[in-house]
């Protein structure tokens, strides 16, 4: 296959959509979806969604940002504009909080502004709030008072649903047994599901072959995504 052919196949790839219709809901994420989509009727002004990398936190956060018209701030670099948004009563999103990477004073003032002005704050993190290693007692108490919900590691049902939709979006007919085979063998993340669908799509186009179980088996191995015999 020439470089030009490879580039054509790359250009035909579809990016992962963050639309609500593309969110697959299963036991792994149902509690988080119900809570986040229950806005503005939250138990309190602060919600934390915690879950492992690749579990769909950013997808859910993006849906909420669009639904709520939220101001998105960088948790590692809070600014006066973020505080202004909270003081104006706008919902605020902090997606991807990492321990010890944020300014505790800035976050404390932001949370106070959200509460004082009737706003809402959605925070997502790959770490449970207790692992954020917060040193400021007042901020720690604010975080502890937040409503926290977990997104579990994607289960087979979620991975199967995501891959089924990704293949359908590309108008590729794949037997459900093949998708179940893939779901049981790839890394437990939505990014891995998107990656394997993309690679199989490109490989099937390049080889003019159907995606069967034996074809798919060349691209996966237990608990990981193989690099594949075709170099994709």
Same CATH topology for 3-18+154-225 and 30-150: the answer is: no
Alpha-carbon span 226 to 232, nearest angstrom: 10
User: The pTM is what?
Assistant: 0.75
CATH class of 30-150: alpha beta
b/e sequence 43-61, b meaning 16+ C-beta within 10 Å: eebbbbbbbeebbbbbbbb
In CATH terms, is domain 3-18+154-225 a member of 3.40.50? Answer: no
The rounded radius of gyration (Å) of the Cα atoms in the chain is 21
List the beta strands (DSSP E) in 2-141. Answer: 46-50, 71-73, 92-97, 121-125
Give exposure, 72-91, as e/b (b: 16+ Cβ within 10 Å): bbebeebeeebbebbbeebb
Nearest one of 144, 115, 98, 134 to 42, comparing CA atoms: 115
Residues 141 and 36: their CA atoms lie apart, in Å, by 22
Tens digit of each residue's pLDDT, the chain (232 residues): 333 333 323 233 334 556 676 788 889 899 999 999 999 999 999 999 999 887 889 999 999 999 999 999 999 999 999 999 999 999 999 999 999 999 999 999 999 999 999 999 999 999 999 999 999 999 999 999 999 999 988 889 889 988 998 999 899 999 999 999 999 988 888 888 888 999 999 999 999 999 999 899 888 753 344 444 434 4
**Domain positions in the chain:** 3-18+154-225, 30-150
């Amino acid at each position: 296959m020439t470089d030009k052919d490879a580039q054509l196949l790359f250009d035909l790839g579809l990016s992962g959509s963050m639309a609500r219709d593309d969110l697959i809901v299963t036991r792994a994420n149902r509690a988080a979806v119900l809570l986040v989509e229950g806005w503005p009727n939250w138990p309190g002004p602060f919600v934390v969604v915690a879950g492992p990398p690749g579990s769909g936190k950013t997808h859910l956060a993006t849906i909420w940002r669009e639904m709520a018209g939220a101001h998105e701030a960088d948790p590692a670099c809070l600014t006066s504009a973020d505080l202004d948004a909270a003081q104006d009563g706008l919902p605020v999103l902090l997606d991807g909080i990492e321990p010890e990477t944020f300014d505790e004073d800035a976050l404390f003032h932001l949370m106070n502004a959200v509460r004082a002005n009737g706003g809402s704050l959605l925070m997502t993190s790959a770490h449970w709030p207790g692992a954020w290693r917060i040193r400021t007692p007042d901020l720690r108490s604010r975080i502890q008072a937040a409503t926290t919900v977990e997104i579990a590691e994607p289960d087979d049902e979620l991975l199967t649903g995501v891959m089924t939709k990704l293949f359908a979006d590309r108008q590729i007919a794949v037997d459900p047994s093949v998708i179940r085979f893939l779901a049981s063998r790839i890394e437990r993340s939505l990014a891995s599901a998107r990656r394997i669908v993309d690679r199989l799509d490109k490989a099937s186009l390049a080889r003019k072959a159907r995606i069967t179980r034996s074809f798919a088996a060349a691209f996966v191995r237990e608990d990981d995504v193989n690099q594949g015999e075709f170099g994709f």
